[in-house]
Structure 1
Amino acid sequence: MSITYPKKEIILDNKIEVIWDQEILMSDGVIIRCDIFKPNDDEKYPVIMTYGPYGKWLHFDQIYSEQWERMCEDHPDVPAGSTNAYQNWEVVDPEKWVSDGYVVIRVDSRGAGRSEGVLDLWSHKEAEDFAECIEWASNLEYATGKVGINGISYYGMNQWQVASLQPKNLAAMCVWEGASDYYRELGYHGGIYCSFTEAWFQKQVLTVQNGIGENGLMGNIKGDWVAGPKTLSEEQLRKNRKEFPAEILENKLATDDFWTSRMPDFSKINIPLLSSANWGGQGLHSRGNFDGYVRSASKEKWLEVHGIEHWTEFYTDYGLNIQKQFFDYYLKGKENGWQDRPKVNLLTRYPNEVFKENYYSSWPLEETDWRKAYLNASNLSIDQHNPKEAEVTYQGFSDGITFLAPPVDRETEITGPIGLKIYISSDTADADIFAVFRVFDEELKEVTFQGAIDPHTPVSQGWLRASHRKLDKKLSKDYQPYHTHDEIEPLSPGDIYELNIEIWPTSIVLPRNYRLALSIRGKDYAWPGGEVKGLGNLDDVFTGVGPFKHQNELDRPSVIFDGNITIHTGGKYESYLLLPYIG
């Protein structure tokens, strides 16, 4: 027997009222659907909203069971204090927020889950929908008029876009591990195509496209079809979606409309901001949280940085307390000391997954001592002084060359963005550079970390396709080169070129006698310990970079990218890392 929606239900000993599948009519006539969790009384409360494609009726542990089980086992504070019956991937637990005086609204984005329309991921139309949903929510009879947005990944990334549209009742935003530049952080790393979206689109998006209906998943949250109510043919489903990975491959420059239409205008983001990054988020999320924090026009903004898995700290008491203090202050006007909190809160990283909390006033950190560490091709070392000219050659699709620094003579902290300048020549018309910033212990065993996804993630990474070497002179800094990606400039074989490479922000405290290293490779980093089991909904096998791989033959034909590449160092070819030493 079919259920008629919207449907009201009282849950949890009469404490929470739920309105399932509430319709929101968009300005173009498309019906978007949401679930509303509110205190079961007649008072008014601020709203916490998310908008995204993962299916609001799909319980966290249905297709993300490995992540859920591990998180609950390692962090018992996550499931504590909740029945967890309404846990949904990468959004807040309504039980823990409604009980503290919030209305929680989960919106299935256009063409996903229970919402109609054409699925067009991170499109400008999605951002407009999100803005309309915010205004609609602010006018609900049980809402105070203030709306906050808060979520992980997709539910964070689209916050940058909607905030730049300035919906009038959007009062605060918390972007938890959310990229802000879809070209540079998702589609093309340094101009090199990343295949992440291919499996992600198939396994995490198409499985909940609106219209899958009875051919899809029954949601454990509501006990109804996650992507209904209609069941459409495969032909109809194809007509109702844009093929996101294919569009990425077709749009190779950041200036293509596909990318510019998705790029937020940071100068228009002017509401209170909490941006939360992950040191191990290489390949998708970490860069955007730092960049969004720095570039947003908000005068009241904070940066928090943590480690371990991509989803975990959002749900722990550590993350939950930070989020609630932020939103309590801006949505409820609660005088809780948030305004006196230092602007930058870092969990500084040590080997063996040890973190120590530190506070600062700016990013990069105010006490940064920028130092050059010079590459020496004659002996593959990293030196304090610029050496004599030398060169070393490797093949394009190889493990490349590793430069090793001497052991540090005392505990040494490096925290911040890293700039890399190198000179190269190639015997073909292009070259892909994979720069891996690494640390080795006293026995020259590599120190890796539980990254956002991969359990053996290096300290940091950067990428650049040599034909994309052109810099944006306005946005580039010595410690963060910024490339325009607006034209392709082929190499003349044998000629020497200067490349400036952005290595994503990181934090590492080296114990005495540990060493820094830099690998310049022609392919993705590979953890020396070999392959490990991946996460089925992301990738079956992890090798050190999780699902963020760069192996597409159309993008990297061997005739171009498997040539011989020579690194030139010393003398007039001053190749070096610009490192942020702290203390």
Structure 2
Amino acid sequence: MTTVNVTPFEIQFRTRDGLLLRADVYLPPGGQGAFPTLLAASPYQKSLRRLPPMGVFPFIEYGPIQLYLDHGYAYVILDLPGSGVSEGIWDPWSRAEGEATHDAIEHIATQPWSSGRIGMIGQSYYAMSQWNAARTRPPHLTTIVPYDGSCDPYRDFLYHGGVPIQGFLGSWLIGSVLLQHTAEGHDVRGGARHEVLPDVLSHTLDDGWHRRRAAFWELGNIDIPVFSIGVWGKASLHLRGNVNGFNGVRGPRRLLITEPDTFHKAQHYFAEEALHREELLPWYDHHLKGVDNGVMDQAAVRYFVNGRGRYASADAWPPADAAPRAFYLSGARSGMVNSLNDGSLTDAAPAEATATTAWTYPDEQWVAGVTTFVNGVPDHVARVNTFTTAPFEKENEFTGQGALVLHASSDQTDFDVFVKLSLLPAPGRPGPARKMSQGWLRASHRREDPALTQELRPFHTHDRVEPVAPGQVVELRIELMPMGFVVQPGERLRLEITNNDSTMIDQPMTHWYGQKVGTDTYHHDRLHPSRLLLPQRAASSP
């Protein structure tokens, strides 16, 4: 629902730094009383709220405003500093931006139309603003519900595994922010908005510039109720942040991972009333109105199980009964995939003294990234390396975090590894391969933080570059994005390894290819047991 049947009025106030910020206020029909208040904060210009939530306007991520007005909530849309009609420098996701939002919350709480109980709302940047403001501990911020929002920009979507993002960064920054400001009559240089891209590209390591923009490092400050809602279809952008946010906060918390499997479906899902009536509205009613509706009696974690078509629950993420299962890379041909090598994944560790898979790049048959065309039909795996399991004999659920332990060498001093895990249908069952998870790592960024690393979740420091000597075999532990899926009897898992994206199926989260020319070798023998580690769950609850 996009129609809002009330006319907003604008408020303005100054932050602790003296900046004049502006916001639009929507009050329930009649407009009398002190209402619990929801705040949506972004650089996407409150003047653009008139646009419908569609794929061509991916920044319209407020949810059904009228639903909340009809249920007695005030709804406030804030132009963050340096955006829209607010003063200041646009400093995305920075702690300073969080402090400005903090000041907005405290100003709103003093208004006669607000009850002083403030919640935050919204998707993507609006969700990131929630993590960001909450870490500053505004006294009147009562709860947050970040839907589809990361909390560590460097790792989540600016430099996957140390590899710079190109596709999303351009479409988001230029399309959703800069050109939209120009269209609204603003100088693109206002608020130093034009400086953000050079800043991102100038800070290739996780330095102080990125740390100031990562609420992840201060999640322990957040002790208010948090309902973190992630989306499977946004695993390459935000889901990691929703999971980390849930695990990092100290107050009452819940995690929901929802069904939509694409960017477009995730936006549409948040725009419709059903999700809000079933999940968000009851949460706000309980925490902002004091309604005893049982929301805190629900399981700590609920997630849609891909391949089973229903939701399951757990007490934690990852579920406590999820244990590592190893699938070893093997050079034996699977006979199932037309790829560079058609390797296998096996339950048994390799016994060979020497076994390798080598390939040279760039591939002259790549057409759209790694995608080539066979008889005029796009083929996304013909020119990448694959390792495929035998058919599963019984149902298996894999839910939680995963990793690829890859022993690799190169004739270069650095190299990239892009990994994708797909589920293949059983023979006789039509349908394409379905992506279940993926990950990325630049070899020179292989150093891990021992305090944060777990067996199924490597955490890389990204604070230095450590070149690889040509021919040197290094062990890379590549983080796979959160997953939750079932393999049915007859189905197979396929691991894809390359160093480039498909510009047909990986958009918008595609990476800069750079100047990569060379030959990489993956080792999978007795001394180098390269293996895929997946979180196998013993049983899932209804």
| Common topology (TM > 0.5) | yes
Residue of 238, 242, 249 corresponding to 1:296: 249
User: What displacement does 1:416 show?
Assistant: 1.7
Q: SS of 1:89's equivalent?
A: coil
After superposition, the C-alpha distances for 1:64-119 in whole angstroms (9 at most, x for unaligned) are 64468xx9xxxxxxxxxxxxxxxx81013221101101110010111222222222
**Contact 2:235 2:482 (C-alpha < 8 Å) held by counterparts:** no
Matching residue within 395, 399, 404 for 1:415: 399
| Secondary structure, aligned partner of 1:547 | coil
User: Structure 2 regions of 5+ residues with no counterpart?
Assistant: 334-342, 364-382
CA contact (8 A) 1:365 1:416 kept: yes
Q: State the partner residue of 2:152.
A: 181
Residue in 1 that maps onto 2:37: 47
Residue 207 of structure 1 deviates from its aligned partner by 2.6
Instruction: Please give the TM-score of this superposition, normalised by the length of structure 1.
Output: 0.81
User: 1: distance between equivalents of 2:267 and 2:54?
Assistant: 13
Q: Is the 8 A contact 1:293 1:303 kept in 2?
A: no
Q: Corresponding residue for 1:200?
A: 172
Q: What CA deviation, in whole Å up to 9, does each residue of 1:479-538 have, x standing for no partner?
A: 1100000110000000110000001011222232110010111211x3xxxxxxxxxxxx
- 1:505 is aligned, of 482, 492, 495, to 482
Shift of 1:348: 1.1
Counterpart-to-counterpart distance in 2, 1:480 and 1:327: 33
Please state how far the C-alpha of 1:48 moved relative to its aligned partner.
Answer: 0.5
Paired position in structure 2 for 1:464: 441
Shift of 1:448: 4.7
Q: 1:60 to 1:437 in 2, by over 3 A?
A: farther
Give the aligned residue type for 2:515: P
2:356 is matched with: 391
Partner residue, 1:479: 456
**Which residue of structure 1 aligns with residue 344 of structure 2?**
381
In structure 2, distance between residues paired with 1:205 and 1:336: 39
User: Is residue 5 of structure 2 the alignment partner of residue 21 of structure 1?
Assistant: no
Q: CA RMSD in A?
A: 2.2
Q: Structure 1 pair 322/381, CA: closer, same or farther in 2 (3 Å)? A: same
CA distance in 1, matches of 2:534, 2:274: 30
> How far off its partner does 1:306 sit?
2.8
Equivalent position of 1:116 in the other structure = 87
Offset at residue 367 of structure 1 (A) = 2.7
Counterparts of 1:557-572 in structure 2, within 5 Å, are 557-558=515-516, 562-572=517-527
Alignment of 1:526-545 (within 5 A): 526=502, 543-545=504-506
Structure 1 unpaired stretches of 5+: 1-10, 72-87, 218-226, 450-457, 527-541
Check conservation: 2:63, 2:272, Cα contact below 8 A: no
Q: Which letter maps to 2:303?
A: L
Residue 489 of structure 1, aligned match among 458, 463, 466 = 466
Whether the aligned pair in 1 keeps the contact of 2:246 and 2:253 (CA below 8 Å) is no
Paired position in structure 2 for 1:348: 305
Rounded to whole Å, the distance in 1 between the matches of 2:254 and 2:531 is 33
Distance 2:45 2:401 in 1: 36
**Cα deviation 1:146-197 (Å, max 9, x = unaligned):** 1001110000012111111111111100010001111001210000000121
What SS class does the counterpart of residue 280 from structure 2 fall into?
Answer: helix
Alpha-carbon contact 2:14-2:21 (below 8 Å) kept: yes
Q: Which amino acid is the alignment partner of residue 244 of structure 2?
A: D
Please name the residue that 2:126 is paired with.
Answer: 155
CA distance in 1, matches of 2:236, 2:385: 21
CA distance in 2 between counterparts of 1:317 and 1:360 reads 26
Kept after mapping to 1: 8 A contact 2:67/2:273: no
Give the match for residue 336 of structure 2. none
1:239, distance to aligned residue in structure 2 (A): 6.6
Counterpart of 1:106? 77
- Work out the CA distance in 2 between the residues paired with 1:401 and 1:29: 56
Distance 1:279 1:66, change over 3 A: closer
Count of equivalent residues? 496
Cα deviation, 1:181-226, whole Å, max 9, x if unaligned, reads: 11001210000000121222111101343xx4xxx24xxxxxxxxx
Corresponding residue of 2:22: 33
Moved over 6 A (4+): none
Q: CA deviation at 1:269?
A: 1.4
Q: Distance in 1 between matches of 2:191 and 2:318?
A: 46
Conserved in 1, the CA contact under 8 Å of 2:449 and 2:459? yes
1:137 matched to 2:108: yes
Within the alignment, does 1:279 sit opposite 2:279 as a pair? no
Q: Choose from 316, 326, 348 the match for 1:362.
A: 316
Q: What percentage of aligned pairs have identical amino acids? A: 29
Q: Does structure 2 conserve the Cα–Cα contact (< 8 Å) formed by 1:419 and 1:501?
A: yes
Is the 2:54–2:268 contact (alpha carbons within 8 Å) kept by the matching residues of 1? no
Q: Residue 290 of structure 1 contacts residue 303 of structure 1 at CA under 8 Å; is this kept in 2?
A: no
